[in-house]
Structure 1
Amino acid sequence: MGVRSVAGLLLFLNFCMYTIVLGIGSWAINRAIDHGFIIGPGLELPAHFSPIFFPMGNAATGFFVTFAMLAGVVGVAAAISGLNHLRHWDAGSLSAAATAATISWTITCLAMGFGCKEIELHIRNSRLRTMEAFMIILSATQLLYIAAIHGAPSTSRI
């Protein structure tokens, strides 16, 4: 199996996982909006109001979901850039794909850190556990994808 096909397989896997993260994160944000703080008739905020309060998790859930959603959006964009690189497989498309993948990986690692904090605090539901697991797996597979596209010799068109 060539490096190009390994990169393609990792790219497809990452795209699917980032899409699932976006779906679960969207559910979490929708639930937080629907079941968060209710502003009273006098339009006064409650004493302990937080704009990232999530009723289904713990203190780290808001940060985790926010950064996981950001990682998901950037990850899907990086997958689109990576698809263009797989199609051309030359030095000209490598820089865009590698840059997008690296930015996606760093945001994914940040979200994974908040996911680890959320695991440490214990109170969360099964969907959040799934999203945590996906962020941990994505931090590894995205790094492998970056190594795969850098490890292969690419042809340059002059």
Structure 2
Amino acid sequence: MANDIRSMASLLMILNFAMYIALLGLGGWAMNQAIDEGFFIGPTLELPAHFSPIYFPIGNAATGFFVIFALIAGVVGVASSISGFDVMRSSEHAGAASAAVIAWALTMLAMGFAWKEVELEGSRNATLKTMEAFTIILSVTQFLYTLVLYG
């Protein structure tokens, strides 16, 4: 029974690690697009009336929040997976379990912004849609990983 739980945790940990790395790559691309093609204003120009400090030239109004929280969730998720490597070597898993809960909570927050981005529609490209899908799938697999660690 213990080996089954350990192998299930290992499988979910490796899956989550790979998906969080992919989420970080996609989020990094989106952040790079926002920095390169974002809103630039000169010293003599005034800000537009509906200017947002989290402006992304791709997507819609929720994209900026989604990308930022997805990047934060990705970093914490990778850290959670790395701390989960100790679970495979020892029976003490309290640290990995608490890191998994934090990663899951941040992933759920990013998933909420992903749903809002889908709801608002707008001009989302395939990369943003892929990032949304990864975030939604990760919210489920990270939850399962957390349950296995506590189980």
Which bin holds the TM-score, normalised by the shorter protein?
Answer: over 0.9
Count residues in correspondence.
148
1:95 alignment partner in structure 2: 94
1:19 alignment partner in structure 2: 21
Which amino acid counterpart does residue 66 of structure 2 have in structure 1?
A: F
Structure 1 residue 19: Cα displacement: 0.4
Equivalent position SS for 2:85: helix
- Counterparts of 2:72 and 2:32, CA distance in 1: 16
Structure 1 residue 46: Cα displacement: 4.3
Q: Check the 8 A contact 2:6/2:87 in 1, yes or no.
A: no
Once the two structures are superposed, what CA deviation does each residue of 1:108-140 show, in whole Å capped at 9, x if it has no partner?
000000000000111211111101111111010
1:21-36 paired onto structure 2 within 5 Å = 21-36=23-38
Structure 1 residue 42: Cα displacement: 3.1
Q: Give me the CA root mean square deviation.
A: 1.4
Once the two structures are superposed, what CA deviation does each residue of 1:71-114 show, in whole Å capped at 9, x if it has no partner?
000000001111122222x13xx110000000000000000000
Which amino acid counterpart does residue 38 of structure 1 have in structure 2?
A: F
Once the two structures are superposed, what CA deviation does each residue of 1:10-55 show, in whole Å capped at 9, x if it has no partner?
0000000000000000010110011111121437544433221011
- Counterparts of 2:36 and 2:43, CA distance in 1: 17
Identity of counterpart residues, as a percentage?
A: 61
Q: Check the 8 A contact 1:39/1:46 in 2, yes or no.
A: no
Alignment gaps of 5+ in structure 1: 152-158
1:21-100 paired onto structure 2 within 5 Å = 21-42=23-44, 45-88=47-90, 90-91=91-92, 94-100=93-99
- Structure 1 runs of 4+ aligned residues shifted over 6 Å read none
Q: Check the 8 A contact 2:20/2:75 in 1, yes or no.
A: yes
Q: Check the 8 A contact 2:9/2:148 in 1, yes or no.
A: yes
Cα distance change of structure 1 residues 87 and 43 upon mapping to structure 2, 3 Å threshold: farther
- Counterparts of 2:142 and 2:53, CA distance in 1: 30
Equivalent position SS for 1:2: helix
The alignment status of 1:7 with 2:13, answered yes or no, reads no
1:132 alignment partner in structure 2: 132
- Counterparts of 1:62 and 1:87, CA distance in 2: 39
Alignment gaps of 5+ in structure 2: none
1:154 alignment partner in structure 2: none
The alignment status of 1:122 with 2:121, answered yes or no, reads yes
- What TM-score does the superposition give when structure 2 sets the normalisation length? 0.92
